[in-house]
Structure 1
Amino acid sequence: MSKTPYHINLPEEIVTELNLHPEQSFHLTLRNGSLTLHPIDGQNEIQTLSLRHFLVPSVLAALLFIGYAFYQREFQLPLGGDNSIASAVILLGELSGMLSFLITYIQEVRRQPNSLKRKTSWRVFPALLIAFAIILAFITSGFFWAINYLFQNVTFDLFTSVVLFVLFDAIINFLMIYAALSISTLFITAIFVMTMIGGVLIAMVTNSSRLWWQYNLSFLGTDGALDAWQFNATLILAGLIWIALVDYLFVPLQQVMRGNHRLIALRVLLTLAAISLAGIGAFPNNAGQLHFIHDQIANGLVYFILILMAGNRWLLPNAPREFMVTSYVIGSILVVTMLLFQVVGYLSLTAFEIIAFGLTLSWILLLLQNIYRLYYHAYQTFVVKIS
């Protein structure tokens, strides 16, 4: 190996943003042909935090679990059902998991040297906290539903029940700490996609016996559907995550491109579309006044998306030509499918809604990707020299 020392000249912007100091040590990692620098102290602190703290709330929750079992004089506990291991993990795991997420997130924000990133993190914190609380409730409930279905009527003694409780609760706390440490634009985007697609697919499967496709996609959230609250909660949750994602993207971008009216208009339209998505879940398509409100909100979402597609050339600064062409193609397909549904009568309402849902979600992800690229590639990429 060569003994020749090399030096990397960093721009002043990087030094200021990361609060670097002379003679500061870093881990230099070579991965997939790219170099990554990590401060040694920060990296070790994050690793120690995740390993040291995820067991503490699990043990505290286990003590509450044991105390309740003795209070109820239940020393042989079922895996599922009321007063079971599953119900204890769902309730106490939700509390301890959100506590772990809360503490870790706050510590990470306070450790952030960049004031703008701290401001952005605090702004999206309420939406992320609510979103992760609902996601955690969904995942734990679904997991134990499947476990209880596989192991029906199984019971365990108190010692074994406590061991299983600590195991499941520790996994929940570890995952919530990992989520708090992983907050980024790409991570929030992935959560948004998984929430939308996963929630809708679960609602479809749950209502397969109700032949929901003979009505429309919105039927999944009505009184006639099974567990309609899950479908409606999915839309509300996706709307909250979308709002947080837009805020997370635009706060640093608007700091660089101050007073850009096109960017402001783009942010307003995206936020209104996200609010409309949440509103569709908040006002299900039931008979009466709710049906009218639901339709108006749904129409508003369609209008906002079409305006974004048609106006992306003016709304998104430095929009790539490929993205503009893709937007016009997807918009044209949506218009054609709308004509086939409303005028020709070739498509059913369900088929039209599924096609529109898939195309719209794909285009929104492309738009968010281009907004991300606009800031992080154009304004967060620097040329450095090795000497």
Structure 2
Amino acid sequence: MLEEKNFLQLPKQLKEHLGIKSGNNVEVTITQDGLIVKSPQKPTEIHERRVSTIILIILMTIAFLGYFIVRKIHYIPLTGNESVATLSLGLTTLSGLISFSTSFILLKHKKAAVVQAVSWRNFPTVALAGALISFMLMAGLFWIAGNLFKGATFDLATSTAIFAMITLIETQTMANLVPRLSSRLLTNTFIAVIVSGMVLAMMSNQNLYWWKRNLSFLGTTNAKSAWEFNLTLIFSGLILIALIDYLFVSLKRVFPKNKQLLILRVLLTLLAVDLASVGVFPNNVQLHLLHGKVAGYLVYLVLALIIGIRWLLPNVSPDFLHLSWLIAGALLAGEILFQVVGYLSLTAFEILAFMLAFTWLVMLFERLNDYLEPIQTRNYVVK
């Protein structure tokens, strides 16, 4: 059976602006604010992107090579202070940020429909989130590679080739992310960063039996690679701030002058700042009291959000409300089992509370995304 085709008739000027002609396929997205028509990229635009990517990779590779020539280092370790990993985390992350920013600015100036939902005000936070995500991903991959290939060292030519390949992948990926920007993408990224960071921290400390102490042990000086755990919390907090900024600026168009949403935004921003602060102030001896207070505020903020969501979230559904009360009840039950009954250990209680709070937070962002995400997407053939 032949696939049914939908035809869309567009004015001549609009077709010229989109760079399409009769017979081309376009994707039409129906949103809360109207229609978004996505057109295929023009060959000239693709060529421009490729040229700029090549120039950026060459410049970063020269910087990488120049550093080790100046330092007179001819054999470079995979990981360490002066290594492929260290310079890649710096230079490659910078190249990804430049690639992302350049692609965004070009598409924004050309008024491409794919980035119109992202305002100039959102751009710094979204770009920062993208850079942080790529940094976290590379740090995790280099940690795994460092454990798999302990003591690996490469000559200058091989190291430069590895760096150039990593930078090429990074710049291409970051540029390709721009047309796919959405609040749901940032939400999924936040989930991936915090979960993968936690898992990596747990795995790297499995021989230290961290679970016999508490979850916060993973960020102390007694833990192995404590920076991974602390940076996960800091970066997750920063990504969360970017996501909140992106979401609530967009939500203003759907719910203008809504005071309840403003209160919700303030509480969520405080939660994000507090989450980052848990990583900034690890549970070391000298910071134990401050860490305890910051972690305690995190619990209070989550409970305040769950209890107040009925009044803070517009058109809250009964299902979401019931699930919120169920999670609040589970948090309270965990507190009783830990503090009163003594059934749960500190680590078990911390992990349970984190999982419940994290699950509810993800549910909340999915609900907020529902207000903004397209209702329907269909493919049309231009007449």
TM-score by length of 1: 0.81
Q: What's the CA shift for 1:332? A: 0.9
Counterpart of 1:39 in structure 2 is: 39
Do the aligned residues in 2 keep the contact of 1:221 with 1:231 (CA within 8 Å)? yes
Counterpart of 1:107 in structure 2 is: 106
The AA in structure 1 aligned to 2:53 is F
Q: What's the CA shift for 1:124? A: 3.4
Is 1:305 aligned with 2:302? yes
Counterpart of 2:288 in structure 1 is: 291
Q: Please say which of residues 182-191 and 59-68 is displaced more in the overlay.
A: 59-68
Q: Please say which of residues 76-85 and 165-174 is displaced more in the overlay.
A: 76-85
Do the aligned residues in 2 keep the contact of 1:29 with 1:36 (CA within 8 Å)? no
Counterpart of 1:332 in structure 2 is: 329
CA RMSD, aligned part only? 3.5
CA shift in 2, pair 1:270/1:206, >3 Å: same
Deviation sequence 1:60-80 (CA, Å, 0-9, x none): 222334444544555555555
1:227-376 mapped onto 2 (5 Å cutoff): 227-288=225-286, 290-376=287-373
Q: What's the CA shift for 1:237? A: 0.9
The AA in structure 2 aligned to 1:284 is P
Do the aligned residues in 2 keep the contact of 1:216 with 1:349 (CA within 8 Å)? yes
SS of equivalent to 2:301:
helix
Do the aligned residues in 2 keep the contact of 1:101 with 1:177 (CA within 8 Å)? yes
Higher relative contact order (CA 8 A, sep 6+): 2
Do the aligned residues in 1 keep the contact of 2:307 with 2:325 (CA within 8 Å)? yes
The AA in structure 2 aligned to 1:225 is A
Q: Please say which of residues 170-179 and 323-332 is displaced more in the overlay.
A: 170-179
Q: What's the CA shift for 1:255? A: 2.5
The AA in structure 2 aligned to 1:39 is S
CA shift in 2, pair 1:46/1:197, >3 Å: farther
Q: What's the CA shift for 1:149? A: 4.3
Return 5+ residue gaps in structure 1 as ranges: 383-387
The 2-side partners of 1:372 and 1:43 are apart by 31
SS of equivalent to 1:285:
coil
The 2-side partners of 1:6 and 1:158 are apart by 56
The AA in structure 2 aligned to 1:98 is L
Q: What's the CA shift for 1:241? A: 1.0
Q: Please say which of residues 139-148 and 170-179 is displaced more in the overlay.
A: 139-148
SS of equivalent to 2:190:
helix
Q: What's the CA shift for 1:265? A: 1.7
Q: What's the CA shift for 1:227? A: 2.0
Q: Please say which of residues 302-311 and 233-242 is displaced more in the overlay.
A: 302-311
1:126-275 mapped onto 2 (5 Å cutoff): 126-152=124-150, 156-275=154-273
Deviation sequence 1:21-46 (CA, Å, 0-9, x none): 37764743689xxx995224x56566
The 1-side partners of 2:6 and 2:99 are apart by 42
The 2-side partners of 1:214 and 1:282 are apart by 23
CA shift in 2, pair 1:37/1:170, >3 Å: same
The 2-side partners of 1:45 and 1:185 are apart by 29
The 2-side partners of 1:113 and 1:165 are apart by 32
The 2-side partners of 1:49 and 1:360 are apart by 45
Counterpart of 2:94 in structure 1 is: 95
Do the aligned residues in 1 keep the contact of 2:27 with 2:38 (CA within 8 Å)? no
Do the aligned residues in 2 keep the contact of 1:109 with 1:121 (CA within 8 Å)? no
The AA in structure 2 aligned to 1:304 is L
Do the aligned residues in 1 keep the contact of 2:136 with 2:193 (CA within 8 Å)? no
SS of equivalent to 1:262:
helix
Counterpart of 1:385 in structure 2 is: none
SS of equivalent to 1:311:
helix
Deviation sequence 1:238-277 (CA, Å, 0-9, x none): 1111111111111121233222222222222211211111
CA shift in 2, pair 1:300/1:153, >3 Å: closer
The 2-side partners of 1:36 and 1:248 are apart by 19
The 1-side partners of 2:256 and 2:87 are apart by 50
SS of equivalent to 2:285:
coil
Deviation sequence 1:255-300 (CA, Å, 0-9, x none): 3322222222222221121111112112222224x32222222222
The 2-side partners of 1:46 and 1:308 are apart by 45
Do the aligned residues in 2 keep the contact of 1:192 with 1:242 (CA within 8 Å)? yes
Deviation sequence 1:316-363 (CA, Å, 0-9, x none): 111111111111111111111111111111001111111111111111
TM-score by length of 2: 0.81
The 1-side partners of 2:176 and 2:369 are apart by 23
Counterpart of 1:61 in structure 2 is: 60
Return 5+ residue gaps in structure 2 as ranges: 29-34, 378-383
